[in-house]
Structure 1
Amino acid sequence: MGSSVRELAEKTPAGRDRYIDLLRVASLGTVVIGHWLMAAVTVGDDGRTEVGNLLAVVPALQPLTWLLQIMPVFFFVGGFSHALSYRSLSRKAPEGGGSVYSAFLRARLQRLLRPTMVFIGVWGVAALLLQLVGEGGALLDVTLRLVAQPLWFIGIYLAMVAFTPPLLKLHEWYGWGAFGGLVLAAGAVDAARFAFGVPYVEFLNFAFVWLAVHQLGFLRADGRLRARVPAAMAVAGLAGAAALVAFGPYPLSMVGMPGERVSNMAPPTFALLCHGIWLVGAVELLRGPALRWLARPRVWRGVVAANGVSMTAFLWHLTAMLGVYGVLIAADVPLPEPASGAWWVQVPLRMAAATVVTGVLVAAFRRFEKPGVARELTRAPSTVAGPAAAVGVTLCLFGVLGLSMVGFGGLLEGRTAMLIAVRVTAPVAVGMALIGWLLVERAPTARRWR
């Protein structure tokens, strides 16, 4: 792997935006570290294992989420990359032939869906076998529920890819106006939710909030986040988020907290959108120093290596963390009270162990993150390729979102969870994700057009 990473780093085109690659790695890495840090696992006197949230134990730490809730940066990076990819494919497509949309979906989703489907397959089979042999209790039941939760991010990202072509067209027509329209829509949703009590309207902000952040990536791709724009975004976004939290119905934490009536994350709120705007402005202000740092060959090789396994590490990091806790519990190692002095002393040791286990899992599954070899086209792509790919990504979206809510536990009991206004079970969610992935995989690729 070392030699291939070195070769990839040395072959980096001069025009490649290395800072975008750094942001992609840094955002996912921050999420991983945040999850490891916030997990507060305890074992009661009755032997029951619970996984709490450190931020609920120590509310004074909740302002840290204004730095650690960095998923908006990842979606901003996605918008930048999607704009470049779709425009490149549009230029390469033969006149009157091929489906640019389906080729775009496959090109953007291949490295995302393959490791995701492997993750779902491995955990689905493991959960089914454990249930058949009657294993459960303690940390295992919690693990079967929690390891699927990060899949919500995959679902949101799928939606962003699916909506890229029409929203990119709106961006080309209206520029900042398209972004402003999404911001106004997100604000209107919160007004309807909190001022008028309109039921279910809040779920629309899963689209408006995240797609607005994604739209900032389009603006970045066109060079419109220059001069004083990032500073203005950072100031306005931070001031807006602070005002909404201070005077509105929004909680301080930018991640979901147990027991809170309102979460800034699920569904996303206008306060989270302001938070995303300030974060994007802040990281853009750091671009110059970061690019000078990335010019160092060793640093850039590290970023290239991390980018090659980032999604695999993200998918398996909770498995690693809960596995470490499982070993500690099985070995009768006392788990200190969360946020106590002994707990903080144990934190770096647990995180180091989770890093090692994640590395082992990455070594086992990283090959699925590599794009496969495209098949040669023997005939023109079908006119139904685009609609089939759209159906595929829709099924994947609902499948992984449903699975993130219901988890892998209770596969045989038909345990359900509410996805917007529809109840889903784990087997149905897995089936939708699998069928959708197969439809996306059958889409034509850009290589067929060369």
Structure 2
Amino acid sequence: MGSSVRELAGKTPPGRDRYIDLLRVASLGTVVVGHWLMAAVAVGDDGRAEVGNLLAVVPGLQILTWALQIMPVFFFVGGFSHALSYRSLSRGSEGPSVYSAFLRARLQRLLRPTMVFIGVWGAAALALQLLGQGGGLLDVALRLVAQPLWFIGVYLAMVALTPPLLRLHERWGWGAFGALVTAAGAVDVARFAFGVPYVEFLNFAFVWLAVHQLGFLRADGRLRMPYAMAGTGLAVAALLVALGPYPLSMVGMPGERVSNMAPPTFALLCHGLWLVGAVELLRAPASRWLARPRVWRGVVAANGISMTAFLWHLTAMLAVYGAQLALDVPLPEPASAPWWAQVLPRMAAAAVVTAAFVALFRRFERPSAPRRPAPASGPAAALGVTLCLFGVLGLSMVGFAGLLEGRSALLIAVHVTAPAAVAMTLAGWLLVERVGRGAVGDYA
């Protein structure tokens, strides 16, 4: 892999924004480390393994989520890359072929490793159930490993909606962002002040698409005054938490009546504004650092495996905890001194196991060579990404446990089972792959 990374780094166009690539890697890496730190497995009084959350055990640590909840930065980076990619494909072309090619170009490196992850875990879950195996930490893993797929679902929606939202941005600029911010605020007013039922789910779109819109502004060089962005976002988020119904944690906590994450709140949008402003303040020194060949090669290498590492990092951490249980290594009470003493060795072991998964599955993250184009169809591509969106979101909610038992989760008023979610994702992926073949010109 070393020579290929060196070649890729050497072919980097002079105008490429290397800082965007660093932010993509850093944001996913921060999520991985945050999950590893928060996962707290203990053995209950009945002898069964239980997975808790360190931030629930030590509420004072929830302030760390104001730095570790970095997903807004990833979606901001996505907006930047999507704008450049769609514009590149649109030069000299128009119509449904551009949309289908854009979807395949943007989703190829996302959906292929995701489908492998779903396939491996789905097959393992089915085999375990047919053999009557399971129990303990394994049952917990079957429920938990699919949860990070919510991020894939949100990202799919952003890709699918890029063309119309980019047109709104090109016409209204900051006004388009302001409209999404206003809509997100109105949703929270309706939710908390007037108790309107179900309205809060609209902020899955308004909050994340507003952050995505900041990426469009960044692509056009219109994202100025990062001090003002960071300061305003941080101040308003702090006021909302101090005076409003919003919790301190920017990630969901077990048992909380209100979560800033699911569904997203206006406080999380302000948090995203503060983070985007903060990373923009670091842009100049980071860009100078990235001019060093060795540093840039590291970023290129990390970008080539980042999605695979993200998909398998929880599997790796639960495997480490499983090894501790199998070897009778004591699992101290979470947040106790012995527990903290195990944190770094446990995270190092999880990194090694994740690296093994990356070595096994990283080839699926590499884009394939263009093949003979199939008849392009914008509606078919839209249907494909919609099926993927609902399939992945459904699977993130229901998990892999009880595949043959009809276990379901409620997704927008529809009960979804794991087999149905897998079938939707597979059908959608195949449709996107077929209608978008022959895509070129992606800003990865």
TM range, smaller chain: over 0.9
SS class of match (1:440):
helix
Kept in 1: contact 2:226–2:281 (CA 8 A): yes
Which runs of structure 2 are paired with 1:374-385 in the superposition (5 Å)?
374-377=370-373, 381-382=375-376, 385=377
1:299 aligns with 2:291: no
1:39 aligns with 2:48: no
State which of 126, 129, 152 in structure 1 corresponds to 2:127.
129
| Distance in 2, Cα, partners of 1:207 & 1:138 | 37
Query: 4-13 vs 308-317, which deviates more?
Result: 4-13
SS class of match (1:99):
helix
State which of 177, 183, 187 in structure 2 corresponds to 1:185.
183
SS class of match (1:42):
strand
| Distance in 2, Cα, partners of 1:10 & 1:4 | 10
State which of 326, 329, 332 in structure 2 corresponds to 1:333.
329
Q: Per-residue CA shift, 1:270-329, capped at 9, x if unaligned? A: 000000000000000000010111111111110000000000000000000000000100
| Distance in 1, Cα, partners of 2:369 & 2:112 | 13
SS class of match (2:186):
helix
SS class of match (2:40):
strand
CA apart distance, 1:369: 0.3
| Distance in 1, Cα, partners of 2:441 & 2:216 | 25
What's 1:61 paired with? 61
SS class of match (1:122):
helix
What's 1:311 paired with? 307
| Distance in 1, Cα, partners of 2:226 & 2:266 | 19
AA in 2 matched with 1:32? V
CA apart distance, 1:225: 1.2
What's 2:21 paired with? 21
TM-score scaled to structure 2, two decimals?
A: 0.98
What's 1:163 paired with? 161
AA in 2 matched with 1:40? A
What's 1:196 paired with? 194
Kept in 2: contact 1:107–1:446 (CA 8 A): no
| Distance in 2, Cα, partners of 1:313 & 1:195 | 41
| Distance in 2, Cα, partners of 1:281 & 1:420 | 33
CA apart distance, 1:105: 0.3
CA apart distance, 1:421: 1.7
Kept in 2: contact 1:92–1:446 (CA 8 A): no
State which of 424, 430, 435 in structure 2 corresponds to 1:432.
424
Which runs of structure 2 are paired with 1:140-289 in the superposition (5 Å)?
140-226=138-224, 229-289=225-285
| Distance in 2, Cα, partners of 1:5 & 1:248 | 49
| Distance in 2, Cα, partners of 1:391 & 1:7 | 37
Listed as ranges, the gaps of 5+ residues in structure 1 are none
Kept in 1: contact 2:89–2:440 (CA 8 A): no
CA apart distance, 1:45: 3.0
| Distance in 2, Cα, partners of 1:376 & 1:105 | 17
| Distance in 1, Cα, partners of 2:100 & 2:13 | 26
1:442 aligns with 2:438: no
AA in 2 matched with 1:414? G
Listed as ranges, the gaps of 5+ residues in structure 2 are none
Q: Per-residue CA shift, 1:54-83, capped at 9, x if unaligned? A: 000000100000000000000000000000
| Distance in 1, Cα, partners of 2:333 & 2:96 | 60
What's 2:316 paired with? 320
1:355 aligns with 2:347: no
| Distance in 2, Cα, partners of 1:108 & 1:144 | 29
AA in 1 matched with 2:423? G
| Distance in 2, Cα, partners of 1:442 & 1:376 | 10
CA apart distance, 1:97: 6.6
Kept in 2: contact 1:408–1:426 (CA 8 A): yes
Q: Per-residue CA shift, 1:128-156, capped at 9, x if unaligned? A: 00000011111000000000000000000
AA in 1 matched with 2:220? D
Q: Per-residue CA shift, 1:197-242, capped at 9, x if unaligned? A: 111100000000000000000000000013xx21111011001100
SS class of match (2:270):
helix
TM-score scaled to structure 1, two decimals?
A: 0.97
AA in 2 matched with 1:314? F
Which runs of structure 2 are paired with 1:389-400 in the superposition (5 Å)?
389-400=381-392
| Distance in 2, Cα, partners of 1:76 & 1:49 | 38
CA apart distance, 1:447: 4.4
What's 2:78 paired with? 78
AA in 1 matched with 2:26? A
| Distance in 2, Cα, partners of 1:332 & 1:27 | 35
Q: Per-residue CA shift, 1:367-412, capped at 9, x if unaligned? A: 00001111123x7x34xx1100000000000000000000000000
| Distance in 1, Cα, partners of 2:336 & 2:440 | 59
SS class of match (1:50):
strand
The root-mean-square deviation of aligned C-alpha atoms, in Å, is 1.3
SS class of match (2:410):
strand
| Distance in 2, Cα, partners of 1:418 & 1:194 | 22
1:373 aligns with 2:369: yes
CA apart distance, 1:448: 7.1
Amino-acid identity (%): 82
| Distance in 2, Cα, partners of 1:143 & 1:387 | 37
Kept in 1: contact 2:85–2:441 (CA 8 A): no
SS class of match (1:442):
helix
Change (3 A) 1:139 1:222: same
State which of 107, 111, 114 in structure 1 corresponds to 2:112.
114
SS class of match (2:41):
strand
